[in-house]
Amino acid sequence: MLSPSKAASFYAGAALFAIAASSFVQYRLPVGVPIAAAKEDPTRSAETVLTSTQGTPAHQALPVATWDHDIAPLLYAKCTSCHHPGGAGPFSLLSYEDARRWAPQILKVTQSRFMPPWLPEPGYGDFAGSRRLSDKELELIKSWVAAGTPMGNTEDAPAPPSYPSQWTLGQPDLVLTVEEPYRLAPGGEDVFHNFILPYPLRITHYIRALEILPSVPSIVHHANILIDRTAEFRRQHPLDWKQGIAGMELTVDAGDSFDPDGHFLFWKPDTPVVIEPAGMPWRLGPGNDLILNTHLKPSGKSENIQAEIGLYFADSPPTQMPMLLELDRDDALDIPAGRSNFTVEDEMTLPVDVQVLGIYPHAHYLGKEMQCWAILPDGKKEWLIWIRNWDIDRQSVYSYKRPVLLTKGTVVHMRFTYDNSNMNPHNPHDPPVRVKAGNRSEDEMAHLWLQVLPANPQKEHQPDPRLLLEEMWMRSRLRKMPNDYISLYNLGTALAGEGKTSAAADIFRKILRAKPDDGRSWNALGTVTESMGDWKQAQEIYKKAAAIEPENCDARFNLARLDLRQDLPSEAETSFRALLGSCPDDPDVRNGLGLALLAREQYAPAQTEFLRALTLNPSGALALDLHEHLAFAYVQTGRLDDAISQLREAVNLARADPAPHSLLAQVLAQAGQLHEAIEEEKSALRLNNKDAEGWNSLAVYEARSGDKEAARQGFEQALRIDPNNLRARANLSHLIEKR
């Protein structure tokens, strides 16, 4: 199946190879919605706090809390991640002397639940890392302050936690540094600034953790990290990207494969290390940029910001592929001045079973109350989150202690309420004014993101369940905004990925009627046209796309690939070599050139190109193909040991795929290693025991090794699966004749 992209996979056999495309351009919505946050409101006051044991029965006196036994463990667990020297908090709470000094303030802000910052209501989602203080913990603080902050036994006090000034997880595998510092003015409104950090390596890595070291942590309210797969944002700002670009919300290109954003790359000073769950690292490869979208708060003096991002590499690619889904109603945000209870709602119906891993609600200053719940097919209501008192300064991503299972047909609901009256202490306007949706912090947003993981393994010959989720999401958006270009394009690519090529073509034609100079959509239309069998028409469409956007490699790649498909390897070689001038680090182009050279029997140069492509992309689906192609090229030059080595790498990359095992068995047999060949073919058949050709191959190896009875059984098994298999029938007859 071909789909809207330049990317292609080529499957090499012992004597021939075929061409098939595998992935497509995905023009994505914002990766993680860059968000706004409010300035600290100096007029905000906490509730008046009683220092008595009001509410406790008179006959049940509370024990007096002490620093060593009660307060130190509590503060170390819930407070000092911010309140330590160099942390985001305004003072340290690591020592008894610090806590005693600030005891009145601690009492005030904890009893009002202003601190520690934790917005979700208990009982409406079971979240990991909750900072909410229990009623018992609040009583301990109250009794400690009321008793005069007793120390207790110094020797019994726990050791304070350590907060390194450098990298929490040790030296990163790669550190990216902002090219030029940004000077933040001493006063004025909050600033949203985007730092662009190009990925400098020429090989793909998967990231298991990241940490940000801002030069002045206290003025960074939070940051989102976006992955720009094509460095498009940098190209849009060729003269000033090194200084960074102002703005809150960005749209970036997700690149040339269906790799939907699946991670909350959301950073706050109190949670400096973002660690991905086991089996879920995210990809970063040649040509990618990271965009550090920061919310900065002026401190009263001029500050230089020059952040570093530390990246920690995973040992292997992801085994589980999460995805982000968004409910939103920005289109409905038109909040009259003075309205204290303005509500918007959204919903989506899940097309597959999913596990919800995390949730991230977002609004600006006028946000008041946020609810999200699910109605399961059996009518049961499952709460996902409830925030009664939204505070933009205390927003966060919330991960569930255990994934929440939502089955196919579940309807997920979002309801946000806004207060645009003068009773809202966060309202940036006095008197209130009419507020609509927008990217400024004084505008509003209604976004709620869910991180989901398809709950059931993908069935053979079935589309990736994330494609079904993408289709559902885009149709949901289009019901609210029928002509939204990004949603239309994403819907078209999802439909193409599902094999619904005619419907996808209709979507791309609709886009092109409104935007006839959109080279991206012309290229996408070309790929679905080709997949429907009309390669000549597809070729003309690719030419049109290439003429509109001559610097875009996608359409030119597809034209070169069509030359290969039409058995024109010399023309394909010329086209791929020309492409290298624009896309020298594109592994697909190197792979295509290698295949063109293979077709011309230029095996040594082909080997060079495959090796270069593997350097650029050492893991994933393309890497699997490259190992197989390289093995084929080695076989043609008699380098059987090298071919075997490449195929063992292919087996390691795809242990559940029978094809690499079968290819390795072929080369082992050719090298005379029949015992090893038999074992590899048996491994392939354990993965797919309905493969008649595999049983025939196994029987051939058994016969060559002298085990004629095992060979007979193998040929007969092949014929039971496929009675018309001529090779197995001829081989069985030959075996019987020799006996």
**Of the residues 313, 345, 378, the one at which a domain ends:** 313
3-state secondary structure of 18: strand
Residue 48 DSSP code:
P
Rounded to an integer, the average pLDDT of 578-590 is 89
Residue 30 DSSP code:
P
Q: Kindly state whether residue 583 falls inside one of the protein's structural domains.
A: no
Q: Model pTM?
A: 0.80
- What confidence tier does 20 reach under pLDDT thresholds 50, 70, 90? very low
Q: Kindly state whether residue 51 falls inside one of the protein's structural domains.
A: no
Q: What is the pLDDT of residue 531?
A: 94
Whole-angstrom distance, CA of residue 147 vs CA of residue 62 = 11
Flag the least confident range among 243-257, 300-314, 404-418.
Answer: 243-257
309 shares its domain with 329: no
**Of the residues 264, 293, 313, the one at which a domain ends:** 313
Q: Kindly state whether residue 508 falls inside one of the protein's structural domains.
A: no
Q: What is the pLDDT of residue 256?
A: 60
Q: Please tell me which residue, 218 or 220, carries the higher pLDDT value.
A: 220
- What confidence tier does 441 reach under pLDDT thresholds 50, 70, 90? confident
Q: What is the pLDDT of residue 721?
A: 96
Strand-pair partners of 12: 17
260 shares its domain with 148: no
- What phi, psi does 711 have (nearest 5°)? -65, -45
Q: What is the pLDDT of residue 341?
A: 97
- What confidence tier does 253 reach under pLDDT thresholds 50, 70, 90? low
128 shares its domain with 149: yes
**At 332, which CATH number?**
2.60.120.230
3-state secondary structure of 335: strand
pLDDT at 7 over 70: no
Rounded to an integer, the average pLDDT of 426-440 is 92
| 607-613 long-range Cβ contacts below 8 angstroms, 24+ apart | 607/633, 607/634, 607/637, 612/587, 613/587, 613/588
Flag the least confident range among 282-286, 398-402, 456-460, 484-488.
Answer: 456-460
Phi-psi sector, 125: left (phi>0), alpha (psi -120 to 50), beta = left
Q: What is the pLDDT of residue 348?
A: 97
183 shares its domain with 133: no
**At 213, which CATH number?**
2.60.120
Whole-angstrom distance, CA of residue 269 vs CA of residue 49 = 28
182 shares its domain with 304: yes
293 shares its domain with 179: yes
| Residue type at 486 in one-letter notation | I
What count of other Cβ atoms lies within 10 Å of the Cβ of residue 297? 17
Q: Kindly state whether residue 28 falls inside one of the protein's structural domains.
A: no
pLDDT at 356 over 90: yes
**Of the residues 156, 185, 209, the one at which a domain ends:** 156
Q: Kindly state whether residue 611 falls inside one of the protein's structural domains.
A: no
261 shares its domain with 285: yes
Q: What is the pLDDT of residue 45?
A: 32
Rounded to an integer, the average pLDDT of 369-379 is 98
Do 263 and 451 touch, CB atoms closer than 8 A? yes
305 shares its domain with 358: no
pLDDT at 513 over 60: yes
pLDDT at 261 over 80: no
259 shares its domain with 382: no
Whole-angstrom distance, CA of residue 446 vs CA of residue 363 = 5
Q: Kindly state whether residue 505 falls inside one of the protein's structural domains.
A: no
328 shares its domain with 309: no
Flag the least confident range among 24-33, 188-197, 580-589.
Answer: 24-33
Q: What is the pLDDT of residue 739?
A: 63
Q: Kindly state whether residue 104 falls inside one of the protein's structural domains.
A: yes
409 shares its domain with 355: yes
Cis peptide, bond prior to residue 85, ω within 30 of zero: no
> How many domains would you assign to the chain?
3
- What confidence tier does 39 reach under pLDDT thresholds 50, 70, 90? very low
Range of the domain at 450: 323-454
Do 603 and 636 touch, CB atoms closer than 8 A? yes
pLDDT at 23 over 60: no
Q: Kindly state whether residue 615 falls inside one of the protein's structural domains.
A: no
Cis peptide, bond prior to residue 482, ω within 30 of zero: no
279 shares its domain with 338: no
pLDDT at 633 over 70: yes
- What confidence tier does 621 reach under pLDDT thresholds 50, 70, 90? confident
